[in-house]
Structures are given as structure tokens and as C-alpha cells.
Structure 1
Amino acid sequence: MLDFSLSDEQRIFRDSVRSFIDKEIIPLETQVLRNEREGRPGLERGQLRDLQLKAKSAGLWGFTTPKEYGGAGLGAIMNSLACIERGRTFVPFRFGGYGDNILFSGTDSQKQQYLIPTINGERASCFAITESGAGSDASAIRTRAVRDGDHWIINGEKTFISGGNEADFVIVFAVTDPSRGGSGGITCFLVDRGMGWRSQPIATMGEASLASLVFEDVRVPSSNIVGELGWGFQLAMKWISSGLYEVPSLLVGSSERLLEMAIQHSKKRVSMGHPIAQYQAVQWQIADSHVEIEAVKYLTLLAAWQVDSGHDARHTSSIAKLMGSITADKVVDRVMQIHGGIGYTKELPIERWYRELRMYRIQDGTDEIQRRTIARNLFKGHARLGGIGV
């Protein structure tokens, strides 16, 4: 018998996260919109840190971080539930207590210098593999690292790097052995900003903080290599795939919040003598949105369950990510249509969400890459039709 209900622990946790988001984060939306429209960050780093510490005092800290590093070690399902709640607001907030999973593969010295301070919120990192000619094909990167005694000299440029403008150090991937070709010969380095790389903001149609990172003869000690020399691509794929379920989780939360706005507006907005909620054209948009959101929600929770159960969640995560990004894009478009002209103005945050959600059909694996992955898994027998769960 299948049981899709949340346990008491999961329900209490979700409600705690929801309460924090409702009381501490959503009230900041007006301020964030004003800041962004004036060309300032939605939240300053100090303000974000204060909110994270307030959440920590409420027991909301490091949901997936192992307990030995000060986290809660709650697992993927709990994290997915938290991401759904966090997705209900566009305020650029995330709970604290995390470090990129690649950092857990570091040496004891690297963990002390990079992992622990990142978990504690004392340092900020970014992940840099994407280049102008190596987006979906990450194995085509051209950034080079050349050995010079006990150091490596890195030259190249990374682009569309989330958090690159704020990061204190970067987890960067460079070719160290071009003779191996493709994904071979790529190595992962930890590079402090003080070692000489610089960031440049990239203006986008949304409010995401993206950057290009420039490396010109940046000198990095061999002790800053993460994992084995020439095996960085495997670490990168581990980073990309492990938390893919988080993206559709966030999109479920955003879509549900937007749909709530559409339902409330359609009840109040009167046209030709009736609330527009009484018109079939509006009802069908509401119904279609709800059906699609629910489908994404259960696909996403299935992927999270697979992660927690030790199963390979990559195929299900790709399905959830593809469907989640397409669904969010359709839902925000319908919500804007239901609101009419007022939805198109900056008086409401719908246009802001409209610009932000479009990004997810490109970021973290484009729609086309997800379809390619899903199809290849089916053709090669890595996934099969007719299965349930795993």
C-alpha cells in the first residue's frame, strides 16, 4: 500500500518553515522590489545573514548538512519541503548552514579553510564551470591550468556564475591535461578572490545575481586541488545532479503562490456584472495550473525520496526539472493574463516573477538537455516504462 501522507515530523517541520517565511520573509517583498528598481540588491549581505541567524535560533539551519558539521542532516524530502516554502516568495533568501557538496570531498585542511567557514556563513562560495562556449556541453571548457612547480597558473573566463559577484572564493574547473580530451583531464580548484581573479556583473532580464569571472595568470597552490588531478568533471556532475530536485521544489512554491493570487483576484475582479471567476475561460486556466503544479509536486517529492532511499534519482529529477520549469513558465503567464493590465505593471510583483521564472528553462540544464537526458536514458535502458517509484 502506498502512503503519500507526511509524517508528523515532516508536517511540523514544513509548518515551521512556512511560519518563518510568512512572518519574516514575505513582509520584505515591498522593500526588495523597491531596492531592485533602484538598482540595489534586494537584500544586503548583512541583512541576509541576520535573517539566517534568526532562522537558526528557530532551529532552521543546515537542513541537509551532516550533524557532524553542525547541520540537521534531515535529508532530501525535508529539504524539498523547505524549498517549496521558500519558493513562495521572490525575496532572495536562503536558509543558512550549507556548503557546496564538492567541499565535503576536500582534505581536512580544505574543510577547515573553506567548508566550515562556508557552513557558518563566514565565507561565500560560487561554482564555476560554465563558459561562453561550454554551457550545456560542460566538457568543452577551455579554461586552462598549467603546472608551475607546486602551483598551477589558471587562465580563462567563466560566465553566468550565480553568486560570483559576492563570492569570497570560487570552486573552478580547468583543463589540466588537454591530451585526454572531452571530460577527461579537467581538475577542480579552490581559488580565493585574493589570488587574483575578478568578477564582472552580467545584466539580465531578471534580478538574478550573475557574473563573469576572469582568470589572468591566477596562481593557485597544488594543495587547493579538490579530489584527484584530472577527475574534476566527475565532481562537477555530482554537484549538478545531487540537488536537481531543489529547482522544481522552488518552482512548485512559486507557482502555488502565483495561483493563489490569481484565485483571489478572479473572485474580486468584476467584469460585465460578474466576478471573472465565474467565466469558464478563467476557470480552465486555474484548473490547468493546479493540475500541472500537483503533478510537478509529486514528481519532485519522488525524486527527493529516491535520494533519501539511496536510489539513482537523476532520471526522475530531470523529469521534475523539465516539467517544473515549463509549468512555472505557463502558470505565471496565465496569472498575468487573469490579472489583465494591472498584472503587466510594476504595481504587482507578477512581472518580476515572470522575468525570474523564465530563467529556469535555461539554468541548471535547459529544457532541451533534460529532454535529451530523458530520451537517452530510455533508449539505453537506464530507465524503463511502466515502473513505479524505482
Structure 2
Amino acid sequence: MDLTLNDEEREIRDWVRTFVTKELMPLEPQVLERERRGERGFTLEELRELQEKAKQSGFFGVLTPEEYGGMGLGSLMAALIEIELGRTFVQFKFGGDADNILFHANDEQKKRYLEPTISGERYSCFAITEPGAGSDARNIRTAAVRDGDEWVINGEKTFITGGDIADFCMVFAVTDKEKGADGGVTCFLVDREAGWTSATIPTMGQWGPASLSFQDVRVPHSAILGEEGRGFALAMKWIGKGRFMLPARALGACERLVEMAMEQAKNRVTFGEPIANRQAIQWMIADSAVEIEALRWLVLTAAWQVDNGIDSRQSQSMAKLYGGVQANQIVDRVLQIHGGMGYTRELPIERWYRELRLLRIYEGTDEIQRRTIARNLLSGHVSVRGHLG
């Protein structure tokens, strides 16, 4: 396992690093000011402008296959790019991407949904979570009943990322109760014009999920994505598309936060000397550095396994679990090193504090990751000796 970057990979990583430093970090004060007024920190128009600037340099569709105009990069490079983007709390992502399950669309659906999403003309959202079905996705209650050549959808979805701006959704509904999740759940592509509505859910951070309501929403039979009754398999493919990308972004945040902490420790003087000379502060920095390096290898190992066709589910769960727990511990230490100033809104530390807390909940809670890891070990599916055996 050699993670040495070749010249092209290093050039890509360095370009993203420069883009983040020159284009995104200068926006941080403005984003903070807007958010604290209760506004959206980063508008869609501003996002598009920056995405277009990046596209002019060739950065478009990082994971999108070249046949659709993307870069077609592997998972390892995608993780390295995500680490660099994580060094700022400005919620930027490169344009040209689409949900992985949209590539399972038929030719007509690709023209209507996939291609416009890649080009940025349309916005999608993935709707499976419900008030009574979070991590237990098999417990969904939203139902679709066939009526001739149409399906009538009724139900509620909650905590849907992008649900407030999406103009179409991939909604999962029960189409056959008797068959259960593995044969009775279907995914539908549903335009907002079909009648579903959304409402933003206020949160302690800047993640703005939405609740979606479906009341007698009618869609044609042709709206089915994939096969009827095979929606749950698609949902699991979406959920498992790259769980390591979440801790990758947190890793970048942790790197930046610890750099801030070290700068503070060198400049803050108490009792005649910098607090960097205090053992308590040194240990906080040392422990954080070790945890960052451990997380880096967990993330990159999972990405490397994906690129090499190795079952990475265990590695991804480990990266997600460790990343969420340690990122929260690191940001807490950084706030402590900054003292009272760290607790104020003058610095962005409290902003990261709230944002990183989400990592332990969405896309699979800590408890779900532990459950997955333990079950894989106890069943003999994996070994504590790792994939090397």
C-alpha cells in the first residue's frame, strides 16, 4: 500500500489547496456575518460563480465519469480533495456531480435528471429518512399505491439534505408490504411540480435539512428509478457511496483548527511566558496530532480499498466513527486553548464546534457504526487483524 502521490495527483491536490486559500478562506468573515444574521452564509449564485471559476481550470465533476464531462478521479484523490475543502467552513463543493444512483437511470431519465444535475441546471435530494425511520431505513412508512399507469405517494420525510432547494427528489416508498424492504420498496424520481412540499428544519449548526410532505402525489410508472421493488438496494448503494468522505472533510477542519491552536499557544502569554510552554497545552496539541494522523490513515485506507475493489465497509465505518468522535474532541481542545475568546463568536471556533457535532449523527450515528463494526467482527466477516489477515 503506497500512498505516495505522483506528479499529476500532487498537482491536483496543490491546486485545490491554493483554491481554498485564495478563493474560499477570504469569504469566511462574510459568511460568518451572514449566518449570525440568520441568513444563508453562501448563496447559490455565489456557489455557481466559484464553481464556474474552478471549471475554467478543469475542476468539474471530480467523481463523474469522463464520458459525462467529469474528471473521473478515484476515491483516494476524491478524499484528498475533500480534506483540503474541509480546511474552511465555507460550504463549497465542485460542480459537475450527481448522486451515484442516478447513473442507474434509463436513457430518458438520464436526459431529464442526470445530465441537468451534472450541468448544474437541476438540484436533487435523497429522501429516505422519516420521523420514525432514521438509521433503521427498513422501517419506512411512506407508501406508493399503483393506480393504472400512475403511482400515488403519501408520507413524510425528514432531515433531508438539500430538500429546501431541490427541484426533484429520489423518494423511497413501500410498494409491497408483504415483500418487506428487500423486495417491496421502490425509488421514484419526483419533480417538485408533482406536488410535494418542503419546510426547512432549524438546527444548532448551519446544516439546513428539510422535511418533505407527500400528499396524494401522483407520478407516472416511468418515474421508477431502477426496478420496481429494488429501491432498498439502491438506497444502500447511495448511503455507502463514500462514507469516508465525511471524516475526510472533518480531517481538514481538524488540521486547520490545530494550526490555529498552535498559533494561539505561541502568542498567548500568561505568568510571563507563552502557554505553549505549559505541559497541559503541549499534551493537548500532541494528542490532537496523533489523532489526526490516525484518522488520515483510516480515511485513506478506506478510499484505497474502494479504488482497489476491496470490501471497504468495515474501514468506512471505522473512519466515520473515529472521525466523528475525535474531531469533536479536537475542536473542544482547540476552544479550551483559546479560552474565553474561543467561546465567543468573534472567532470561528464555536462555528466549527457546532458543525462537527453533526458528524456523530448523520449518515449513520456513532452507535450504528459501532453496531456495524461489532457485527462484522462477531460474524467472522472481518478480522481484528484487518484486510491483511
Q: TM-score, normalised by structure 2?
A: 0.98
Q: Aligned residue for 1:178?
A: 177
Name 2:224's counterpart in structure 1.
Answer: 225
Tell me the CA shift for residue 61 of structure 1.
Answer: 1.1
Tell me the matched-pair count: 389
The corresponding residue for 2:62 is 63
Counterpart residue type for residue 159 of structure 1: T
Q: CA deviation at 1:388?
A: 4.8
- Identify the residue that residue 95 of structure 1 maps to in structure 2: 94
Write the mapping of 1:184-223 to structure 2, written as runs, cut at 5 A. 184-223=183-222
Residue 75 of structure 1 corresponds to 74
Q: Which amino acid aligns with 1:98?
A: D
**Structure 2: how far apart are the matches of 1:82 and 1:24?**
15
Alignment partner of 1:282: what SS? helix
Matched, 1:104 2:116: no
After TM superposition, the structure 1 stretch with the greater mean CA deviation from structure 2, 328-337 or 7-16, is 7-16
1:385: Cα distance to partner? 2.2
- Matched to 2:172, the amino acid is F
Counterpart CA distance in 1 for 2:95 and 2:248 is 18
Q: Which amino acid aligns with 2:236?
A: M
Deviations 1:239-265 (A, max 9, x none): 101211111110100111111110111
Instruction: Report the alpha carbon displacement of residue 171 of structure 1 after superposing the two structures with TM.
Output: 0.8
1:288-342 per-position Cα deviation (integer Å, ceiling 9, x unaligned): 0110011011111111111111111111000001001111100110000000000
Using the alignment, how far apart are the partners of 1:35 and 1:212 within structure 2?
Answer: 24
Whether the aligned pair in 2 keeps the contact of 1:124 and 1:167 (CA below 8 Å) is: yes
Q: Is the 8 A contact 2:84 2:249 kept in 1?
A: yes
- Contact 1:344 1:351 survives alignment (8 Å): yes
| CA distance in 1 between partners of 2:17 and 2:181 (Å) | 44
Deviation, structure 1 residue 182: 4.0
Matches of 1:45 and 1:277 in 2, distance apart? 42
Letter in 2 for 1:146: V
Q: Distance in 2 between matches of 1:60 and 1:341?
A: 40
For 1:23 and 1:60, how far apart are their aligned partners in 2?
A: 16
1:379 corresponds to: 378
- How is 1:221-260 mapped onto 2 (pairs within 5 angstroms)? 221-260=220-259
What letter corresponds to residue 125 of structure 1 in structure 2? S
**Preserved contact between residue 129 and residue 157 of structure 2 (Cα < 8 Å):** yes
Q: Over aligned residues, Cα RMSD in angstroms?
A: 1.0
CA displacement at 1:118 relative to structure 2: 0.4
**Counterpart of 1:184 in 2: which secondary structure?**
helix
State the Cα distance separating 1:107 from its structure 2 match: 0.3
Using the alignment, how far apart are the partners of 1:289 and 1:13 within structure 2? 27
Q: Deviations over 1:123-143 (max 9, x none)?
A: 110111001110010000000
- Whole-angstrom distance in 2 between the partners of 1:85 and 1:322: 20
- Matched residue type, 1:293: I
Unmatched segments (≥5 aa) in structure 2: none
1:255 maps to a residue whose letter is C
Q: Normalising by the residue count of structure 1, what TM-score does the alignment of the two structures yield?
A: 0.98
Q: Is the 2:257–2:334 Cα contact (8 Å) retained in structure 1?
A: yes
Residue aligned with 2:374, SS: helix
Superposition deviation, residue 389 in structure 1: 5.3
State the AA in 2 paired with 1:228: E
Deviations 1:44-65 (A, max 9, x none): 1111111111111111111110
